Structure 1
Amino acid sequence: MSKVELYAAIRRDHRGGMSMRELERKYGVTWRTVRKALDSAWPEPRKKLPPRATGLDPYRSVIDEILRADLDAPRKQRHTVTRIFHRLVEEHGADVSYGMVRYYVAGRKPEILVESGRAPLEAFVPQTHQPGHEAEVDFGDVTVRLAGELVTCYLFSFRLSYSGKAVHRVFASCGQEAFFEGHVHALRTLGGVPRSKVRYDNLKAAVARVLGLNRARVETDRWIAFRSHFGIESFYCRPGVEGAHEKGGVEGQIGYFRRNHFVPVPEISSLAELNDMVDQWDLQDGTRRIGSRPKTVAEYFAIEQPLLLPLPEEPFETGRMFTPRVDRYGQIPVRTNRYSVPIRLIGRRVRVVLHASHLVVYDQNVEVARHERLIAKGAVRLELDHYLEVLVRKPGAFPGSTALEQARSAGKFTPVHDAWWDQAKKIHGERDGTRALIEVLLLGRHLPHEHVVAGLATALRAGAMTADAVALEARKAAQAETEPGTTANAPASGKLPATVTSLHEWRLAHLPPDTRPLPSVTAYDQLLRRRRDSGGDHREGEAQ
């Protein structure tokens, strides 16, 4: 077994009551290994080699077409693996081995039979579930209108088999990060972990390889560590449509939830807003009855909840780690997308923690950037603040920058910014006016965005096109917000008067009174008199 599986087995037996010495004897390991396994479900990471392409990849579609054509061919005149292998070599010049073809056909042939709808019918046996013992997990796709655009998201569902209590979460993808974060949210909401098995599809987030049609699976190392941490016992359904009935409860739950809460299509500004709505819908569904049951979902869950296993106290890092290098554009590649970081990090490697809905960038354990995760592939997300240092030196690059365009689309660069910028260019010129605007944008690192916009508006009304004036008015707006009494003399229209005090006058007004006497130059006058006297004597000597 792998090291991750060894750790998981040691932790499981330790929870069952085995001592450390017994674990050493059972698994033939040292005390140090047992101690490490009990301290952490995740062993020291090993560098994995990238997956290698095979010579069969270009011919998979050819084999699929042969297998589909065999569905209508006479039973005794269908392709064997040997015949398929010979056709690939003779007709397509494929350089593949017989074993590669046999392995692919063995797994693909039943899938094509299911896809065609010709799989044989099966009989089903009703099951009774014990409270607190079993659960089912699955993803389902949903369509939402996010910021005015129709996008496809993924609904994670964790359903307890006895009570029917389900917890949902919407993510931009159904990758491993979403899979883990959905589990963490569901287990915290339910307050415990099922005692027996949790049923799963053969998701790539959990299963690295399906070994034939039986229950044997090669699980991913991160998933082994995750379920070992929470004490989850996994049970995998049969591949394809044949195994869908083995977790029919969650399949039906996703359909019910989608029909009742996602019709009509929700219009939201962010996934966080949508997930707040999903939490409320989960609470509402607790009052419904499933089929002909005499009690509601919430009443059955009240019986089941105390029987769940307790959650571990230590958190589990659900994010995926990456260490990309910052390119000359101040961007880093993460999966299929690119994100900006401060321009000062060009050429350095940074650490990225990728979550289901966002990512965080660290430079030597200091957070330097945080982005909402992009949904589309091949997209770029830039933060205007990351490029301000270089734009101060190159103001000509500011008007056409992609970061400026994205800031406008996100509402961070407002019409007030544009109006102040236009006026500054008229007064100071194109270059200096743009540089003044960039200096104003740098204020956003120390002042809230709304206060900077208020300072821009006041400075624009007063005709003060300097960054110092905007900074002063922004601080006045912040002070007015923290001290409500300062706005008592505001006009009835609610607008502040367009008066801008220079920073020099503002500093002088806040200095303590100076009680020192005025300086005197009398002593210096005496020096000047002596100089004239000595100069006169010298002139008299010259005259004689």
Structure 2
Amino acid sequence: MLIVETIAKIRLAYFRHKKPIKEICRDLRVSRKVVRKVIRSDATEFHYERERQPLPKIGPWREQLDALLLGNDGKPARERLTLIRLYEELRELGYEGSYDAVRRYAKNWRKERGTVLAQAYVPLSFSPGDAYQFDWSHEVVILNGATVTVKAAHMRLCHSRMPFVRAYPRETQEMVFDAHDRAFGFFKGACARGIYDNMKTAVETIFVGKERQYNRRFLQMCGHYLVEPVACTPASGWEKGQVENQVGVIRERFFTPRLRFKSYDELNAWLLDKCIAYAKAHRHPEMGDRTIWEVFEDERQKLVPLRGCFDGFHAVSAAVSKTCLVRFDSNKYSVMANAVGRPVEVQAYADRIVIRQDGGVVGEHRRRFGRDETAYDPWHYVPVLARKPGALRNGAPFKDWVLPAAMERIRRKLSGSADGDRQMVKVLAAVLEDGLPTVEAACAEALCQGVHSADVILNILARRRDPGPPLTILTPDALKLRHAPLADCAKYDQLRSSG
């Protein structure tokens, strides 16, 4: 085959240097036929393609190989065999050719059937308030000096392209609920449809086509916000391409270089400000004369109005230990002493833990995300102190317990007496009946009187609880005056002179 350099030399020698064909053939060691072909065609490159490709080995096995390829192409993606496996099966039938021949034949077979297509997609268009897309991503940040991987919840309105991002320490269901609640609160409304991948916190079972069995609590959330959930086809991220694109943009523009914050609250406040600034600074991809924020302001009028916040918690049952502790997510939380011995329901929110028993709340704490941490509420253990007052001094729940100012002064004064712990327990127990503000006021009154005894404080509380009837003086009718006396200073002067 002629190379481009040889063709260029022939053309230069003939057309520019006016050399005869015989001399060109002698200098370049090519035939007259080749030189005449280059001169007459005026081409600078030649391609040779075989009109007919003989298949000496594959030919007798074409039908069997076509059947294997057709059957393999109809199987699900996870069950399809590789070409090596198909080649081995063909060898078992008696084929003696090479694997390369099978590979080339399979490539042409797919081209003829049109199964090897370019990655082409149909552009989508969404009306205002029609749909939003939701997804998660993992980002690396530095929180309070430690490098952690946060889970970023992404939501994007399909019409206006308005983004919303919030970081969480977990990717659990209660975080999904909180992300939706905060996103809809920011958008001031929801959309008619929500497009998701098949995340386990939303989808329990995948059926043929678009049929899904959704999680019961997830359906409750969608019903509350009047949203119709739509799940994508597995391994088809292009069906929610907008939020997939947002993940890359947010990672490049927001999380690079690595962010440094003290807490999740600071990080999320910064992310919200960045989303607003990004929307105000960038043009809408389809409406070039308007920004994303301007289109979003118009879309807000078409969103589904909110009907309050969804009570988004994840509930699990748990047992209460004899130390009044409940274990959840590798951490322990205290409950009221009267809950010991019976199961409770732990309602986990994104930022707090609520523990219920028989419909009532027996414990509520700020959620911990570490491991083997214990969250105490000292008031849960006050009823136990009535039987074991000595635990007040060394009990783990009472370490670093900050009491109101007056009660703390009473505690310090009682610590010097022999029965100080027992007296302080009586004062603390009164809080369960009278309330903390009332007991704090009684302690302050006792200190003003110069005493700090528990009996005095309890007496003050008893008087406030039952002050008794008001003191009234009744005058009998016989002693009531009929006429008002008149003032006579002369009688007073007469008494002074006689004295």
TM-score range, shorter chain: 0.5 to 0.7
Residue 436 of structure 1 is matched in structure 2 by: 423
Residue 234 of structure 1 is matched in structure 2 by: 230
Q: Which amino acid aligns with 2:227?
A: G
The alignment covers a number of residue pairs equal to 363
Quick one: structure 1 residues 506 and 283, their matched pair in 2 at CA, closer, same or farther if it must change by over 3 Å? same
Secondary structure at 1:137's aligned position in 2?
strand
Quick one: structure 1 residues 296 and 237, their matched pair in 2 at CA, closer, same or farther if it must change by over 3 Å? farther
Q: Is 1:387 paired with 2:374?
A: no
Q: Which amino acid aligns with 2:261?
A: P
8 Å contact 1:339–1:371 — kept in the other structure? yes
Instruction: Write the distance in 2 (CA, Å) between the matches of 1:468 and 1:152.
Output: 55
8 Å contact 1:360–1:367 — kept in the other structure? yes
Secondary structure at 2:301's aligned position in 1?
helix
Q: Which amino acid aligns with 2:292?
A: V
1:127 is aligned, of 119, 123, 128, to 123
Instruction: Write the distance in 1 (CA, Å) between the matches of 2:340 and 2:430.
Output: 23
8 Å contact 2:133–2:240 — kept in the other structure? no
Superposed displacement of residue 125, structure 1: 4.0
Quick one: structure 1 residues 303 and 329, their matched pair in 2 at CA, closer, same or farther if it must change by over 3 Å? same
Q: Is 1:204 paired with 2:194?
A: no
Query: Which protein is bigger by CA-based radius of gyration?
Result: 2
Superposition pairs of residues 89-168 of structure 1, within 5 angstroms: 123=119, 125=121, 127-132=123-128, 133-141=130-138, 153-168=150-165
Instruction: Write the distance in 2 (CA, Å) between the matches of 1:449 and 1:78.
Output: 84
Quick one: structure 1 residues 456 and 237, their matched pair in 2 at CA, closer, same or farther if it must change by over 3 Å? farther
8 Å contact 2:424–2:454 — kept in the other structure? yes
1:328 is aligned, of 314, 322, 334, to 322
1:306 is aligned, of 289, 292, 301, to 301
Quick one: structure 1 residues 151 and 468, their matched pair in 2 at CA, closer, same or farther if it must change by over 3 Å? farther
Q: Which amino acid aligns with 2:415?
A: K
8 Å contact 1:200–1:247 — kept in the other structure? no
**Alpha-carbon RMSD:** 4.9
Quick one: structure 1 residues 416 and 170, their matched pair in 2 at CA, closer, same or farther if it must change by over 3 Å? farther
Instruction: Write the distance in 2 (CA, Å) between the matches of 1:320 and 1:183.
Output: 15
Quick one: structure 1 residues 330 and 506, their matched pair in 2 at CA, closer, same or farther if it must change by over 3 Å? closer
Residue 113 of structure 1 is matched in structure 2 by: none
Alignment gaps of 5+ in structure 2? 1-82, 90-115, 476-499
Residue 187 of structure 1 is matched in structure 2 by: 184
8 Å contact 1:215–1:238 — kept in the other structure? no
1:366 is aligned, of 355, 360, 365, to 360
Superposed displacement of residue 135, structure 1: 2.0
8 Å contact 1:388–1:442 — kept in the other structure? yes
8 Å contact 1:202–1:239 — kept in the other structure? no
8 Å contact 1:350–1:362 — kept in the other structure? yes
Q: Which amino acid aligns with 1:401?
A: G
Instruction: Write the distance in 2 (CA, Å) between the matches of 1:306 and 1:335.
Output: 41
Instruction: Write the distance in 1 (CA, Å) between the matches of 2:215 and 2:131.
Output: 22
**TM-score for the superposition, normalised by structure 2:** 0.57
Superposed displacement of residue 363, structure 1: 3.3
Q: Is 1:259 paired with 2:255?
A: yes
8 Å contact 1:131–1:303 — kept in the other structure? no
Instruction: Write the distance in 2 (CA, Å) between the matches of 1:468 and 1:250.
Output: 67
Quick one: structure 1 residues 511 and 188, their matched pair in 2 at CA, closer, same or farther if it must change by over 3 Å? same
Q: Is 1:222 paired with 2:222?
A: no
Instruction: Write the distance in 2 (CA, Å) between the matches of 1:237 and 1:514.
Output: 85
Instruction: Write the distance in 1 (CA, Å) between the matches of 2:455 and 2:270.
Output: 44
Q: Which amino acid aligns with 2:119?
A: A
2:349 is aligned, of 333, 355, 372, to 355
Q: Is 1:466 paired with 2:453?
A: yes
Percent identity for Structure 1 against Structure 2: 21
Superposed displacement of residue 324, structure 1: 3.1
Alignment gaps of 5+ in structure 1? 1-73, 81-119, 473-501, 518-544
Superposed displacement of residue 303, structure 1: 2.7
